[in-house]
Structure 1
Amino acid sequence: MSRRDAEPAHSPSRERPSPEPTATAVEARALATGLVAALAGLVLALGAFVGRRPALSGDHGVGDVAALVAGVAALVAFPVAYRRSYGDPDRRWLADRPLWRRLLGTVALAFAHAAIAFMVAWASFQIFQRAFTGLTLDAFAASLLTAVSAALAAYTAYQSGSRMDSYALSNLLATFLGAGILTSMVTTTRPNWWQVNFSVLGAADYGVALAFNATLVTAGVVIALLAEYMTRDLRALDAHRSRAGLTAARTRERPLLTCLVLMGALLACTGLVPVDVFIPAHNTLATSMAATYTLLLVRAPAWVPGLSRTFYAAGYAMLGAAVISVMLWWPLGYYNMTAMELVVAGVVLAWLVLFTRNVAAAVEDVRRHEDAA
């Protein structure tokens, strides 16, 4: 069967998708999930704060407990909603993937949501502690705040799992990477880490190395999952163009998919081989990922024709910015390696998000053109 054929019939050996969820049903389930998480968080927090008067953050305060409970709530709520979303006609292809890919993608996305919920809750209580200096709470008030954090995390994660698409996945990737790396920066035990290079955040003697390395590994898996969503979008784009009688050249999904999966694999391996374990391998993996990104950007007009010229021009401008950033580090020596790495990483991530959104926008435009014809 060719890649352009219709989706294969559902195999009896595969799990059967749930009935198609309605928007009202999704909203109701998200609210119910939030209420359950709030009750569970309240009970857990009462046990954690009994006999204490905790501060908003620090020293096992409200923020520490609330962040942990919120992370667990998101970790549980997301896969439940994601699995139920298989009933949506636009997402039934998720159930037709091999089991290991379904599990790997679900685990990575659930972990990303849990990490974001944890970091947002932890940072929020840090900020409130600075706003209300010296404030402490009794056990019940502290437990209520923890319950609210759990409810918000579970509700948001359930909504995300029910509506996951290319747009949402690209936004999740950017949010998760940004939050994970920022957390690594503020939790490191070496305040001068930026004078060395970006990768030392993953070194064992630089604080909570697990946060940095786990962020890279999970982000790599999410990028590989993004390739699957992009493949679906490209097939839909070609199908709608064909039915609408548009003359744009057909997309080439195979090289695009290969580059995205390779980028994800290289990023994950970069996290699995920290800089203090084997520097040559770590640097080679990171450089190879940058080279793969460059190839993808340069070949994007040929592989995905018909997108806006503004997007293609912006891509070349961003590539130029990355090259200039490297030159400012070496040979010009204007700033150090950390600054260069931050700029390049930001450019790569921003282009991936823009690419995903532009393809999804093209699908929406051609669908509307087809409906109007």
Structure 2
Amino acid sequence: MGRHQRAESLGLISFVCCALVGCGGMFLYLQLAPAFWQLSQRRFMACAAIVAACGVISFIVGYIHRMRLLDVQKGWIHTVRRIFEILALSIVYASTLFLMSYMLFSLVNSIMGKAIFTSYIPALTAAFAGVSGYLTFVQAELMNAKTLSALLPFFVIAGVSTASSTTTDPHWFRNNFSELGDRTTFAARMFNTTLILGGICIIIITYFAISELIATYRIVRPNGDIAIRQPNVSYKIPRFKVRITILTVMLVLSGVAFIGIGTFRYTPHPILHNVFARGMPVLMFIMLVALPWLAPQLSKAFFAISDLAIVVCALVGISWLMGNNTLTNVEALAAMLFLGWFIGFSRQIAAIEADRIQRQILAHQVINPAALDKMIDAEEQAGFSTVLTDMSSPMLANEAKNAIQSLAK
């Protein structure tokens, strides 16, 4: 049984286990919870919490299982990094599953009506918990940057939609987007919590994306040592450490801006709120303009899309200044474009990762290990520092091409 089929099979087992736990947990909650916690919104919160807990536990089990199969390194630093990854990804999945589940429970309740919906709560909780357990386990087994980036839009849309649909102010959008969170109501808390958790998710995904950019730029020497590429390799990015550091700082600050907007409401903290709210577009503009220099590994098409996002935001901003638009629309569009850009950025990183893995597999399949040392000596004399992952090296690429042709014959 291959890796993907095994992941699907274990995911089905996780589905059954989580469904049973979800049904039993919700049944006990309905029987034992006090009347205060039987109100609709609190009941939905309990349902969503059970679904999120099942999904996170399933994810942790799947991720630990995956790490046991893939990890060959030992040591306390490696262990600490894995623990950090598990905690960080658990936050992403817990927040996403909670907000998505809450939105779905509220939607089903509005369709079916409270009287009918109450009798179906255990079954629906079991279904949502089972699905979340299945998806998180499979994704943990097959985790990559695309998986993480796909979670972000669902998470943000769920939180903002729930907040806007439950707010007590039907005219919140007339002033600015932050007006939705400028209260102490449930909807405002939901909106602010979504922004805070969204910022945390951006920081976490940034960690994985930057780690892959660094991994792609590393070389593995014949003795097993890992180092950053030097000027005498097949391709070189000048000032790589400076570029990757600046990109990391700007992405992290973008996540911090989301956290700050959600943490400091405008009414009690107008200065701090405006610093984060107005600082985010500035960060976005600088980062997108400088992107070809910060991350030249990305495609030219992505650079063009980034420039297009700047132009669209500028045109909508000018329209607002002329009185033809509302600030809410400008802020909402800027946030959506940034999230869309960030998702595209993550998928670009995932594509780079997939290409790197493909090169590694191809190199191990077609290169004769006995002749590798001689090739490395020849490459060093020619001005290259060759490794199995570096298929852009002329000599190694030519050797791979000849090996493939001989296999084809």
TM-score w.r.t. length of structure 2: 0.72
The answer for the alignment partner of 2:407 in structure 1 is none
Structure with greater helix share of residues: 2
Gaps of 5+ in 1: 1-20, 52-57
**Alpha-carbon separation, structure 1, partners of 2:292 and 2:67:** 32
Q: CA deviation at 1:96?
A: 3.9
The answer for the alignment partner of 1:17 in structure 2 is none
Relative distance call for 1:142 and 1:230 in structure 2 (3 A) is: closer
SS in 2 for 1:136: helix
Aligned pair partner of 2:14 in 33, 37, 52: 33
Q: CA deviation at 1:314?
A: 1.0
The answer for the alignment partner of 1:43 in structure 2 is 24
SS in 2 for 1:335: coil
Relative distance call for 1:101 and 1:22 in structure 2 (3 A) is: closer
Aligned pair partner of 1:79 in 57, 60, 68: 60
Q: CA deviation at 1:239?
A: 3.7
Aligned pairs for 1:1-373 (under 5 A) are 22-48=3-29, 59=40, 66-87=47-68, 89=70, 96=77, 102-103=83-84, 106-107=86-87, 109-128=89-108, 136=116, 139=119, 142-239=121-218, 246-247=234-235, 249=237, 251=240, 252-330=243-321, 332-365=322-355, 367-368=357-358, 371=362, 373=400
Relative distance call for 1:85 and 1:286 in structure 2 (3 A) is: farther
**Alpha-carbon separation, structure 2, partners of 1:90 and 1:222:** 25
- After alignment, is 174-183 or 363-372 more displaced? 363-372
Report the aligned-residue RMSD. Answer: 3.6
Q: Answer whether contact 2:109 2:117 (CA < 8 A) is retained.
A: no
Q: Answer whether contact 2:99 2:155 (CA < 8 A) is retained.
A: no
SS in 2 for 1:281: helix
Q: CA deviation at 1:174?
A: 2.3
Q: CA deviation at 1:365?
A: 3.2
TM-score w.r.t. length of structure 1: 0.78
Q: Answer whether contact 2:96 2:155 (CA < 8 A) is retained.
A: yes
Q: CA deviation at 1:59?
A: 4.4
> How many residue pairs get matched?
344
The one-letter code of the counterpart of 2:127 is V
The one-letter code of the counterpart of 1:361 is A
Q: CA deviation at 1:50?
A: 6.0
Q: Answer whether contact 2:103 2:158 (CA < 8 A) is retained.
A: no
The answer for the alignment partner of 2:391 in structure 1 is none
The one-letter code of the counterpart of 1:350 is G
Q: CA deviation at 1:131?
A: 5.4
Q: Which has the larger radius of gyration?
A: 2
The one-letter code of the counterpart of 2:347 is R
Q: Answer whether contact 2:96 2:151 (CA < 8 A) is retained.
A: no
**Alpha-carbon separation, structure 2, partners of 1:196 and 1:91:** 55
SS in 1 for 2:20: helix
**Alpha-carbon separation, structure 1, partners of 2:210 and 2:329:** 34
**Alpha-carbon separation, structure 1, partners of 2:283 and 2:5:** 42
What is the aligned-residue identity percentage?
24
Q: CA deviation at 1:45?
A: 3.1
The one-letter code of the counterpart of 1:44 is G
CA-to-aligned-CA distance 1:78-107 (integer Å, 9 cap, x gap): 33434444335479799847959955x645
Q: Answer whether contact 1:273 1:282 (CA < 8 A) is retained.
A: yes
Q: Answer whether contact 2:177 2:331 (CA < 8 A) is retained.
A: yes
The one-letter code of the counterpart of 1:336 is T
Gaps of 5+ in 2: 33-38, 220-227, 364-399, 401-409
CA-to-aligned-CA distance 1:228-259 (integer Å, 9 cap, x gap): 2122221233247979x753636532111111
